[in-house]
């Protein structure tokens, strides 16, 4: 025996909804948001067998909210007026008939219980779901909210629009969830009746509740931004928009007319010097999540970088501080000819290098004016070997509007270049990043690669050297905690590197996006002065760059990327003394400071071997280095280490 499905209990209301759908469809295509909202209400009304006395009672159905109920009530009033019918009273206006006292009391108790249950249901219903900031649902809501009223989009297009609003990846599961990407938030939004899904392949748009939620989120963020900027004028807003709200509130607003990337670095240094020395999972310098939870507190506390008191247009990291000489006369640079080709540039420069002054500041440098070049990021090919890293690095940066190139780099993992828009020539900029996972950092400390990499980065002549350390799998590396802390501290204090600690690879990509946007803003008003290729070599480049910065700190000097690759090559850039220094660093117990002290006395292996041969007996040979090196503290060499070095080099 077949069971028949119950029909619609409100055919008149169903007809009204159908009319509304047809009217909405005539406004445009069937992808209209209004059409899909009404279609969902129509489907709910069609399968409901219960009759309603008033259109407002339809609010209990899925997909029907107060707005649709109001439209149905208006349509029913017009229908009753046209056909001479009486409009049904609203449930709240129903008159209770006269009854017995007992019946009256029971009806009053029943109505009170119904009123209490309705109040509870009403309170539960009006509690709006608000997703966490920078989460998957938040990003999807913001992306759908940016669409026009008559537009819905597919999954691929929605992910592209939502990616800039999310800290998690839509393609790769996060380390915490392991199974879910940021796209899992779509299921939450559908369950909360904020997003409507229709068709195959599926297309998405906001429901009435979703539109209202998105509007409230935008109003709340606008209010926070207004509170944040009440302490001073807003400058450089185009760049600050890329930073989280709490990040912007860390700095006192001044009358600066230009913003540069050192704001990011100085802020992290200030925070790290306030006691963040442990490697716990929550101790991430400049963490956006930690700051976003304390927006109201952060907006009241401001940090003014010390260097901003003296230089209002730029911030000083203190890496190579030098006062500007007031008596230095400005020198007019020689602009590059617009029709200068890549082949003719080295010849024209070499012709001027026959008789050059000893003063580095008087080098006949050409220059590229501001606005004639673009800032681009270059990622080492070894950093994007896996499909996961390739998606996160390349696609993540490109979705943020950053030009990315993947190449083989001789030094560093990420660097920035300036590409001349006229001849396509590429020039190195003063920023380079060395990325380290925590397990990779430990292994490099064990085999000595860590000191070698720091040595080569220092010799590269680049001013801003940044170490990005991803603090993953810290539980497995707890026994190396002291060695890790020592390595990070020595890199900051002794080498002058900036160390940025992030929780995972997603944090690295986020930091690179922010830094790239700041660099574009910084170099948008800077001219680049090119050092002649004939004056650059692996032996003098570091000294030459230091002299130029000291003599003229207001100019930004650079060299072609091809020259930089040749200088920093592992084979072509090292002298005999450099190779000897690297060999000493491979000996267990010989730090960078001790290796430098040894090289001061014995510049090359030949000097060391001759000194061993001149000793009278075996004991003098073992104690040779200990007696020759008059160092103190970390630079001192004990008898045991001296004997070990002799066992490697003297026998």
pLDDT digits (tens, 9 = 90+) for 412-463: 899 999 999 888 888 999 999 999 888 888 888 887 788 878 888 888 888 8
CATH code matching the domain that covers 136-216, chosen among 1.10.3720.10, 1.10.10.10, 3.20.20.60, 3.50.50.60 = 1.10.10.10
**Gap between the Cα atoms of 157 and 151, Å rounded:** 12
Q: Tell me if 469 sits within 8 A of 502, measured CB to CB.
A: yes
How does pLDDT run across 299-308, given as a tens digit for each residue? 333 333 333 3
Domain boundaries, the chain: 1-89, 136-216, 255-309, 360-567, 576-649
DSSP assigned state of 153: B
Give the phi and the psi of residue 253 in degrees, each rounded to 5: -75, 125
Residue 281's pLDDT is 37
How far from chain centre, in Å, is Cα 229?
A: 23
Q: Where are the beta strands (DSSP E) in 234-289?
A: none
Low-confidence ranges of the chain (pLDDT < 50): 1-2, 30-31, 96, 98-101, 104, 116, 120, 123-124, 231-358, 361
Answer whether 1-89 and 360-567 agree in fold.
no
Q: How many CB atoms lie within 10 A of CB 488?
A: 20
Q: What share of the chain is helix, strand, coil (3-state, %, to 5)?
A: 50, 10, 40
Distance between the two ends of the chain, CA-based, in angstroms? 101
Return the pLDDT at 100.
47
* Buried b or exposed e, range 168-183, using 16+ CB within 10 angstroms: bbbebebeeeeeebbb
| CATH class of the domain whose range is 360-567 | alpha beta
Architecture of domain 1-89: Orthogonal Bundle (1.10)
Q: How many CB atoms lie within 10 A of CB 124?
A: 8
Q: What is the DSSP annotation of 481-515? A: HHHHHHHHHHHHHTS--EEEEESSHHHHHHHHHHH
**pLDDT value for 375:** 92
Check whether domain 576-649 has CATH 3.20.20.70, yes or no: no
Measuring CA to CA, how many Å separate 159 from each of 142, 170, 215, 531? 11, 7, 20, 44
- How far are the Cα atoms of 184, 413, 523, 568 from residue 562, in angstroms, in the given order? 45, 17, 21, 10
């Amino acid at each position: 025996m077949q069971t028949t499905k119950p029909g619609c209990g409100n055919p008149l209301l169903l007809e009204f909804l159908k009319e509304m759908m047809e009217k909405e469809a005539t406004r445009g295509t069937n992808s209209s948001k209004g059409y899909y909202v009404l279609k969902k209400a129509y489907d709910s009304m069609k399968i409901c067998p219960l009759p309603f006395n008033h259109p407002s009672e339809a609010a209990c159905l899925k997909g029907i909210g107060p707005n649709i109920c109001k439209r149905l009530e208006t349509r029913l009033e017009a229908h009753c007026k046209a056909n001479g019918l009486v409009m049904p009273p609203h449930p709240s206006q129903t008159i209770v008939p006269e009854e017995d006292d007992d019946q009256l009391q029971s009806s009053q108790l029943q109505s009170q219980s119904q009123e209490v249950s309705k109040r509870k249901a009403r309170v539960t219903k009006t509690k709006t779901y608000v997703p966490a900031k920078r989460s998957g649902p938040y990003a999807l809501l913001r992306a759908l909210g940016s669409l026009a009223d008559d537009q819905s989009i597919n999954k691929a297009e929605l992910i592209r629009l939502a990616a800039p609003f999310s800290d998690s990846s839509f393609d790769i599961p996060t380390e915490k969830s392991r199974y879910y990407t940021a796209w899992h938030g779509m299921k939450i939004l559908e369950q909360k009746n904020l997003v409507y899904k229709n068709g195959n392949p599926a297309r998405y748009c906001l429901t009435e509740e979703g539109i209202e939620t998105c509007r409230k989120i935008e109003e709340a963020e606008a209010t926070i931004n207004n509170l944040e900027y009440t302490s001073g004028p807003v400058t450089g807003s185009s760049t600050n928009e890329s930073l989280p709200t709490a990040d912007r509130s860390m700095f006192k607003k001044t009358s600066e007319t230009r913003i540069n990337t050192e704001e990011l670095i100085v802020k992290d240094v200030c925070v790290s010097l306030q006691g963040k020395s442990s490697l716990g999972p929550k101790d991430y310098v400049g963490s956006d999540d930690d700051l976003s939870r304390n927006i109201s507190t952060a907006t009241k506390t401001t940090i003014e970088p010390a260097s901003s008191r003296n230089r209002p247009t730029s911030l000083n990291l203190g890496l190579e501080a030098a006062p500007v000489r007031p008596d230095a006369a400005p020198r007019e640079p020689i602009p590059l000819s617009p029709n200068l080709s890549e082949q003719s540039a080295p010849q024209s420069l070499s012709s001027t290098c026959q008789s050059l002054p000893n003063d580095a500041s008087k080098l006949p440098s050409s220059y590229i004016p501001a606005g004639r070049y673009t800032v681009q990021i270059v990622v080492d090919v070894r950093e994007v070997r896996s499909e996961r890293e390739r998606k996160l690095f390349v696609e993540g940066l490109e979705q943020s509007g950053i030009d990315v190139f993947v190449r083989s780099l001789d030094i560093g993992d990420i660097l920035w270049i300036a590409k001349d828009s006229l001849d396509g020539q590429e020039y190195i900029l003063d920023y380079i990043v060395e990325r380290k996972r925590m397990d990779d950092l430990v292994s490099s400390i064990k085999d000595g690669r860590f000191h070698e990499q720091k040595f080569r980065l220092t010799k590269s002549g680049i001013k801003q050297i940044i170490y990005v350390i991803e603090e993953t799998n810290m539980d497995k590396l707890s026994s190396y905690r002291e060695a890790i802390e020592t390595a990070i501290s020595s890199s900051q204090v002794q080498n002058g590197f900036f160390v940025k600690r992030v929780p995972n690879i997603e944090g690295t990509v986020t930091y690179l996006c922010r830094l790239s946007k700041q660099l574009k803003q910084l170099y948008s008003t800077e001219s680049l002065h090119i050092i002649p290729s004939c004056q650059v070599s692996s032996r003098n480049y570091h000294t030459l760059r230091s002299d130029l910065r000291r003599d003229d700190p207001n100019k930004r000097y650079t060299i072609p990327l091809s020259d930089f690759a040749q200088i920093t090559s592992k084979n072509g850039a090292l002298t005999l003394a450099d190779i000897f220094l690297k060999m000493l660093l491979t000996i267990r117990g010989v730090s960078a400071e001790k290796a430098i002290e040894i090289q001061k006395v014995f510049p090359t292996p030949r000097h060391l071997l001759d000194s061993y041969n001149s000793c009278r007996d075996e004991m003098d040979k073992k104690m040779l280095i200990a007696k020759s090196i008059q160092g103190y503290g970390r630079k001192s060499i004990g008898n045991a280490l001296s004997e070990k070095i002799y066992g490697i080099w003297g026998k």
